[in-house]
């Protein structure tokens, strides 16, 4: 029996361009960012996609990427990127490929891989000064399997595996600082709801060589429990309340690209999501609300520009 060929989106009508008809959740903040990122990086890009929500973008025999796409296990995307980058460099060195034909090598993972299962492989790639861009869409849990807590889950959030009266007892891992400690070429946080800031950071990362990271907060309607139509507004509130700082690490310094002023109370963000509803009903958890607000206040009171 003849094998069915994989059809790429460039072979389909214009109505089937990137993202159209893909089985993603309505209002997905990760997909919102990826749309914008892909527009800037363009088709001369190979995405090394670790297992996660965005794996569902490519359903055989289709892939929405007009460029190249490789699927890996959750912990293996940086290793896959290394093999691709090495192969491209060999072809360039042997003059079997023109420099104009070179590809951007981009790792695409969720927070589960970026903060946990794939962190050791990522650290090793940075130590080797691998020339790659790492995109982490951070929906603050293992969203593809039912929103279990991950190392990126915020304190107090309820998840499928944090169902107690006070939600998740741990704290969100600081992936930005972990990367910055390796002294890479570039690290930045972003969000699809702030498209100008996101575009500028992708452009900046595109011009650099070496390890580069963009962490995009990805509001998740089913995992965070909110109406998909509110995704962009919730993303903006994450910035306005200061719970998601927009910043960059470049040339050894951390600079904030947007400082919220005046900064809104963090509970304006928390109230929009069912995962935090236990903090307000049946009675307000004043202690935990104060603890979350204090954590955000201490962060902003401690920054120096």
Give the domain range for residue 278. Answer: 7-302
How far is C-alpha 92 from the chain's CA centre?
30
Residue 60 in this model has a pLDDT that exceeds 80: no
Residue 2 is assigned to a structural domain of this protein: no
Residue 101 in this model has a pLDDT that exceeds 80: yes
Q: Which of 71, 62, 69 is nearest to 17 (CA)?
A: 62
Rounded to the nearest 5°, which phi and psi values hold at 271?
A: -65, -15
The domain that holds 146 is classified in CATH as 3.40.50.970
Residue 17 is assigned to a structural domain of this protein: yes
What separation in angstroms does the CA of 261 have from each of 56, 246, 254, 265, 270? 38, 13, 19, 11, 19
Residue 1 is assigned to a structural domain of this protein: no
What separation in angstroms does the CA of 108 have from each of 214, 290, 301? 10, 35, 33
Rounded to the nearest 5°, which phi and psi values hold at 277?
A: -65, -25
Helices 29-41 and 195-206: crossing angle in degrees, nearest 10, is 40
pLDDT tier for residue 85 given thresholds of 50, 70 and 90: very high
Rounded to an integer, the average pLDDT of 96-108 is 96
Residue 171 is assigned to a structural domain of this protein: yes
Residue 129 is assigned to a structural domain of this protein: yes
* pTM confidence score: 0.91
Residue 61 in this model has a pLDDT that exceeds 90: no
**Average pLDDT of the chain, as a whole number:** 91
pLDDT, one tens digit per residue, over 130-185 is 999 999 999 999 998 999 999 999 999 999 999 999 999 999 999 999 999 999 99
The secondary structure of residue 33, as a DSSP letter, is H
Residue 78 is assigned to a structural domain of this protein: yes
Residue 13 in this model has a pLDDT that exceeds 50: no
pLDDT score recorded for residue 304: 52
Domain count along the chain: 1
């Amino acid at each position: 029996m003849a094998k069915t060929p994989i059809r790429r989106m460039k072979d389909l009508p214009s109505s089937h361009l990137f993202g159209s008809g893909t089985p993603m959740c309505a209002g997905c903040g990760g997909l919102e960012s990826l749309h914008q990122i892909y527009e800037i990086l363009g088709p001369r890009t190979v995405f090394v996609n670790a297992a996660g929500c965005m794996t569902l973008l490519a359903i055989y025999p289709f892939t929405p990427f007009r460029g190249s796409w490789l699927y890996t296990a959750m912990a293996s995307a940086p290793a896959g990127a290394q093999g691709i980058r090495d192969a491209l460099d060999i072809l360039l060195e042997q003059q079997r490929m023109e420099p104009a034909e070179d590809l951007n090598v981009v790792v695409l993972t969720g927070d589960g891989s970026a903060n946990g299962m794939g962190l050791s492989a990522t650290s090793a790639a940075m130590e080797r000064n691998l020339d790659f861009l790492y995109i982490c869409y951070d929906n603050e849990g293992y969203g593809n399997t039912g929103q279990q807590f991950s190392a990126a889950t915020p304190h107090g959030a309820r998840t499928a595996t944090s169902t107690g009266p006070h939600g998740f007892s741990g704290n969100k891992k600081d992936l930005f600082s972990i990367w910055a400690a390796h002294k890479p070429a570039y690290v930045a946080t972003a969000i699809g709801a702030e498209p100008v800031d996101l575009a500028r950071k992708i452009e900046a990362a595109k011009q650099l060589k070496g390890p580069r990271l963009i962490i995009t907060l990805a509001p998740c309607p089913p995992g965070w429990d909110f109406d998909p139509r509110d995704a962009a507004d919730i993303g903006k509130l994450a910035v306005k309340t200061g719970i998601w700082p927009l910043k960059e690490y470049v040339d050894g310094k951390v600079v904030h690209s947007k400082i919220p002023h005046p900064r809104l109370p963090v509970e304006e963000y928390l109230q929009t999501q069912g995962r935090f509803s236990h903090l307000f009903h049946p009675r307000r958890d004043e202690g935990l609300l104060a603890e979350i607000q204090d954590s955000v206040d201490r962060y902003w009171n401690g920054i120096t520009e």
